[in-house]
Amino acid sequence: MKQLIQDAKALLKLNDTGVFIKPSTHQYPHIWNWDSAFIAIALSHYDLEQAKKEVRALLSGQWQSGLVPHILYPTGASDYFPTPDFWQTEALPTGPSFPTSGFTQPPILATAVKKILNHSADESFLKEVYPKLLAWHRWLYRARDPENTGLVSIIHPWEAGTDNSPRFDEPLANLKPVNVPEFKRRDKKHVSPDERPVEDHYVRFMYLIGFYRDLKWHDTAIYEQTPFLVQDVLFNTLLHQANQDLLSLAQQLGEPCTEIEDWLERTSSAFETLWDDEMGMYLDKDVRQNNLLKINSLQALSPIFAGIPSKANAERLVTEHLLNKQEFAPADDSAYCFPTIAKNTPYFEPRRYWRGPIWLNMNWIMYWGLKQYGYDELATKVKADSIKLAQKSDFVEYYDPRDGSACGAKGFSWSAALVTDMLLTD
């Protein structure tokens, strides 16, 4: 294992621009929100200063409104599309001080900061970042849950971090793309097209960005007018865990806690509205259509990460799905834990991005969730499989569950980071 950890550290070093650590060596040359948090979690084990630097780099693009964007371009343009100017976020009254995208990504940063603080009680760092984390979470509830449902909504599949998951097929199909901004994809330069999103989805992704640009990224107008509004299970799960971590940071600082406690209470009880008893899992809700999206995905099982399900519901998630050889468990048709989409569904595609391949951040989420609920044997198996995948096919973006072969971008930082975290934690 020593060698694997050394290789992981070497990759994070290779991807270090001096200002931030890139998500991958070629495909993703800017800051991505949850990538930076995952990277900081690994660094907290062996290089606290670099971990803090990564957190600061991400927070440096925070908008005055509190939003922490999903992509930040502190070092300017590259061969990546969307380019910094595509978003038209410069010169907005509530916007950033340098170009960023206009929406956010799963908020796991408070969890990363908590892990940094576990390794070193650096109160001045905590004092510096705590108000920024609080402002982000406040923005999430204010801008994305103005109706006080307890669950925040996403306005674009890219905010979910699971861009082209079949969970979004229906809400995307309901859009009527008009006035789509002109664009030229560059995501297929480093990665094979059959491992990337299909063209029709890409057009709809761009249509939504154009829609928000026209609204000048105004939060209230977006919430009221967007044709894409989804309460995403994984996003709210990570937010709920981040709120638990934020609460503990507030207590450390002696800051008021009631606002965070209120979020925790409201979000955990609102999760009941996403539970589908027939399918035995949590489903994303299409807020515009007012229905649950009945897609059997790994994300639907992720609330164990934040301690959300009752013991009985957790048991259903594990026995009916994770251990089910037709869905997520290894069998003749798949060799490793866990495909991101159930294998026995019509939309399962083992090599296409978020439509089936194994992603190590999802394995990491399931690993910690399983441990929390006492499923130690399965947790150990997920960890062992993640290690095997990295050893067999390197730290790549995602893996074909049938044989563990490499897919997507090469030199992928969070794959290295999260294997390192699992190896160095116990």
E strands of 226-368, at which residues?
230-231, 275-276, 281-282, 285-286, 291-292
Active site includes 397?
Answer: yes
For the segment 282-301, give every residue that binds ligand GLC (CB under 6 A): none
Catalytic residue among 54, 145, 159, 163: 163
Q: Which long-range contacts (CB under 8 A, 24 or more apart) does 5-11 make?
A: 5/420, 5/423, 5/424, 7/395, 7/416, 8/42, 8/390, 8/395, 8/416, 8/417, 8/419, 8/420, 9/46, 9/416, 9/420, 11/395, 11/411, 11/413, 11/416
One-letter amino acid at 381 equals: K
Is residue 146 exposed (0-12), middle (13-18) or buried (19+ Cβ within 10 Å)? middle
Chain positions 20 to 59 lying near ligand GLC, rule: CB under 6 A, are 23, 28, 32, 34-35
Interface with ligand GLC: number of residues (CB under 6 A): 7
The yes-or-no answer on residue 349 being catalytic is no
260 versus 389: smaller Cβ distance to ligand GLC: 389
Residue 35 vs 421, nearer CB to ligand GLC: 35
- Closer residue to ligand GLC, CB minimum distance, 15 or 50: 15
Taking CB under 6 A as the criterion, the residue among 74, 102, 161, 404 binding ligand GLC is 161
**Whether the Cβ atoms of residue 82 and residue 24 lie closer than 8 Å to each other:** no
CB 258, min distance to ligand GLC, A: 33
Using CA atoms, how far residue 180 sits from 44, 211, 216, 229, in Å, is 42, 8, 16, 19
In the complex with ligand GLC, the residue whose CB is nearer, 23 or 95, is 23
Nearer to ligand GLC, 66 or 357 (CB): 357
Question: Reduced to 3 states, what is the DSSP secondary structure of residue 365?
Answer: helix
Least spacing, CB of residue 276 vs ligand GLC, in Å: 25
Q: Is 163 in the site for ligand GLC (CB under 6 A)?
A: yes
- Give the nearer residue to ligand GLC in terms of CB position, either 196 or 381: 196
CB of 395 to ligand GLC, least distance (A): 12
Q: Whole-number minimum distance, CB 236 to ligand GLC, in Å?
A: 16
Q: What is the Cα–Cα distance from 298 to 338, expressed in whole angstroms?
A: 8
Out of 219, 245, 397, 400, the active site residue is 397
When CB distances to ligand GLC are compared, the closest residue is 23
Strand partners, 358: 399
What is the smallest separation between the CB atom of 195 and ligand GLC, expressed in angstroms?
A: 12
**Residues 72-131 within binding reach of ligand GLC (CB under 6 A):** none
Residue 342 falls in which region: left (phi positive, over 0), alpha (psi -120 to 50) or beta: beta
First to last CA, the chain: 13
Catalytic residue positions, numbered? 163, 397
Give the binding site for ligand GLC (CB under 6 A).
23, 28, 32, 34-35, 161, 163
